[in-house]
Chains A and B, each alone.
Chain A
């Protein structure tokens, strides 16, 4: 096999491994981020509902 194809094989291996590793980390941490985003939005939503009730 020519050297250049070994070079591309190594590049492919590194790139693919990095992709799936970063994807795994982002998935785990992203779940926490998503929870925090939705709970903040929920808190704002219920605060707004309370304000509306008070005003009426």
Chain B
């Protein structure tokens, strides 16, 4: 076992502290806005810390280091693309400032304002399903990571998954966004420290020159050049350029942090400062994966390589701190995702079906129940589902289920006067086709005729989802302009927050 008494003490103190802080935050929840968007009082630095903490989890370390292990330095391009996506939003306020100005809590609420109630309901279902499928594998990766780094053995995976789930669900469900913001900040500090520790020990163990030599030896030019690397190529790059903007602006857990900000301007800046860290938070774990390749060679399980590396090179005592940092990263991601998807389910899927209006208290209670159910789903899904591609591609594709249609509807709705309800239906429907076909058809890959094999190419499927969604929105709106006149949105004239007296 890599974990010793001191490591356990550090870990137990950290976990107890987190739950205590998270539960204490309950007292700040005074209303529904308080529960869902922390009363919209979050400033730039705090917002950036919570957004970064949300976007970094063990799942991101695992999928990015897997890419580093399997593709060498070629995958570093993703960091640059991700940086570009956040910078577009951070510089222009593209989508997020518009949505924040309208004071929505979830993205489907915008669909009702701009299109109609049914679009909100359909958009809510797609957002919820895509989001929960996307999140379904998180716990599995955490189980693998923790058992490998701590040296517990993979048989302890289920127990680790259950313990993590209980801790996160408890404070997220009870404290809502206030708990999430406060614990996220603490977790951001600890996770940054954990990343620093891991990076220092990795670089002390394996230097850059030996990593470069191993990559060239194992993968040749493909390990350096993403365009000729078969995992990537032009289709993947184009898909990711579009997808990075769409997912950054429309990932409900992340964008909730922008909705929780003081003003649209603060929401935009949160994305700007978060964007500055993006290339680093991609490339840091990718390099851990490359270092694992240099140390262990190409023949071990690509998901296990990085945690095994950290478990073997980080000394006792420091390992406890690093694992606490990694756990912090994951817990902040879970809490934000659980809250975001349960909020969408309550407000956009279930509430519209009820014949009566839910009170604030009922809204919060239902959100808590759904967050718990999602947690249980994550456990079951994580234990039984086998990934059809690399973890990164699975996450990007399930993200496309909701992001492709949402990107067409929200961009059209905010910036194109002719966007109407028919275009919205067509965009949402068309956006889900290619990813759904991929997820289903990969289960019967061997029986597919040659002409349909392109549908089980994850890169083609991902790019197609955005192209089809955009085409659906444009064609649907243009052919039905006369029958379905677009709704004109009038944003509030002044978005100034009430002044404290």
Residues of A within 8 A of B (CB): 1-2, 4-5, 8-9, 11-12, 14-20, 22-23, 25-27, 29-30, 32-34, 36-38, 40-45, 48
Contacts and interface: CB of A to CB of B under 8 A. Distances in A.
A42 to B, nearest CB: 8
Contact of A30 (B46, B225, B283, B500): B46
Given A22-B273, A36-B43, A41-B41, A16 B27 contact: no
Given A9-B208, A20-B280, A22-B277, A2 B46 contact: no
B188 A27 contact: yes
Classify the interface of chain B: helix, strand, loop or mixed: helix
A26 to B, nearest CB: 5
A30 B280 contact: no
Interface stretch (B73-81, B96-104, B414-422): B73-81
B224 interface: yes
A19 B280 contact: yes
A33 B45 contact: yes
B44 A33 contact: yes
Interface in B272-322: 273, 276-277, 279-284, 287
A43 B28 CA distance: 10
Interface centre among A23, A32, A36, A43 (most CB of B within 10 A): A23
Given A16-B284, A45-B28, A48-B30, A22 B224 contact: no
B215 A15 contact: no
Nearest to B209: A1
Contact of B178 (A2, A30, A41): A41
A38 B182 CA distance: 9
A30 B76 CA distance: 29
B165 interface: no
A25 B188 CA distance: 12
Contacts of B45: 25-26, 29-30, 32-33
B287 to A, nearest CB: 6
A2 B216 contact: yes
Contacts of B336: none
16 contacts: A4-B224, A5-B224, A11-B279, A11-B283, A15-B280, A18-B276, A18-B277, A18-B280, A20-B192, A26-B49, A27-B189, A32-B45, A33-B47, A34-B185, A37-B41, A40-B41
A55 to B, nearest CB: 16
B277 A23 contact: yes
B199 A16 contact: yes
Nearest first, the 9 A-B pairs at minimum CB distance are: A19-B280, A33-B46, A29-B45, A15-B279, A5-B212, A15-B280, A30-B45, A33-B43, A41-B28
Given A20-B192, A20-B280, 13 more contacts: A2-B216, A4-B73, A14-B279, A16-B199, A16-B283, A18-B277, A19-B280, A26-B49, A27-B49, A27-B189, A37-B38, A37-B41, A41-B41
B42 interface: yes
A34 B41 contact: no
Nearest to B199: A16
Interface centre among B80, B208, B273 (most CB of A within 10 A): B208
A19 B500 contact: no
A12 B79 CA distance: 9
B52 interface: yes
A31 to B, nearest CB: 8
Nearest to B196: A20
A8 B79 contact: no
Contact of B42 (A11, A29, A37): A37
B144 to A, nearest CB: 24
A41 B284 contact: no
Interface centre among B41, B52, B280, B281 (most CB of A within 10 A): B280
B343 interface: no
B136 to A, nearest CB: 28
Contacts of B282: 15
B46 A27 contact: no
A33 B279 CA distance: 25
A5 B72 CA distance: 10
Contact of B212 (A1, A16, A34, A37): A1
Given A5-B215, A26-B52, A41-B30, A15 B283 contact: yes
Interface string B57-97: 00000000000000001001001100100000000000000
A22 B195 CA distance: 14
B205 to A, nearest CB: 16
Contacts of B284: 15-16, 19
Given A8-B76, A8-B224, A26 B188 contact: yes
B273 A19 contact: no
B28 A26 contact: no
A14 to B, nearest CB: 8
Contacts of A16: 199, 280, 283-284
A37 B283 contact: no
B226 to A, nearest CB: 10
Interface string B332-360: 00000000000000000000000000000
